[in-house]
Amino acid sequence: MPTPAPKTVGEGRKVRRRLATTPGGVPTSYGLPQEVVLTAERRVGFLGLIAALMGSGGYLMELPVQPERLQGLFPPLAAAMFLVVGLTMFILSRSRKVRPEMVLDLGLVSEVVIALAVSLTEFALPWKESEIVRGPSWNCLWIAMYVVAVPGTYGKSVLAAITAACMGPIGMMIITVATGQPPPSPEQALLLLVPPFAAALWAIPVARHYYRLGTQVTKAQAMGSYELLELIGHGGMGEVWRARHRMLARVSAIKLIRPHALSAHGTESAGVALRRFEREAKAMAALRSPHTVEIYDYGVSEDGRFYYVMEMLDGLDLERMVQRFGPMAPGRAAYMLQQAAKSLSDAHEQGLVHRDIKPRNLFACRMGTEYDFVKVLDFGLVKFSSPGQSQTQLTMEGVTAGTPAYMAPEIAMGRQDIDARSDIYSLGCVGYWLLTGQMVFEAENAMAMVMAHLQQAPVPPSERSEVGIPASLERVILCCLEKEPDKRPASARELAGMLAKCEGMEPWNSELAERWWNVNMPRPAASH
CA dist., res. 165 & res. 171, Å (int): 10
> What amino acid is encoded at 290 in this protein?
P
Question: 369: which residues sit within 8 A by CB, 6+ positions away?
Answer: none
CA dist., res. 441 & res. 415, Å (int): 21
CA dist., res. 453 & res. 226, Å (int): 42
Q: Quick one: which H or E segment has residue 223? A: strand 222-223
Q: Quick one: which H or E segment has residue 490? A: none
423 tagged catalytic: no
309 touches 296 (CB < 8 A)? yes
> What amino acid is encoded at 62 in this protein?
E
CA dist., res. 441 & res. 449, Å (int): 7
Per DSSP, 509 falls in state: -
CA dist., res. 384 & res. 465, Å (int): 37
Task: Please choose, from the candidates 172, 166, 175, 228, the residue with its C-alpha nearest in 3D space to the C-alpha of residue 197.
Answer: 166
CA dist., res. 508 & res. 335, Å (int): 7
Catalytic residue among 356, 372, 378, 423: 356
* Residue 243 bridge partners (DSSP): 228, 252
Task: Please choose, from the candidates 313, 323, 300, 296, the residue with its C-alpha nearest in 3D space to the C-alpha of residue 232.
Answer: 313
CA dist., res. 175 & res. 170, Å (int): 9
Q: Which residues are catalytic?
A: 356
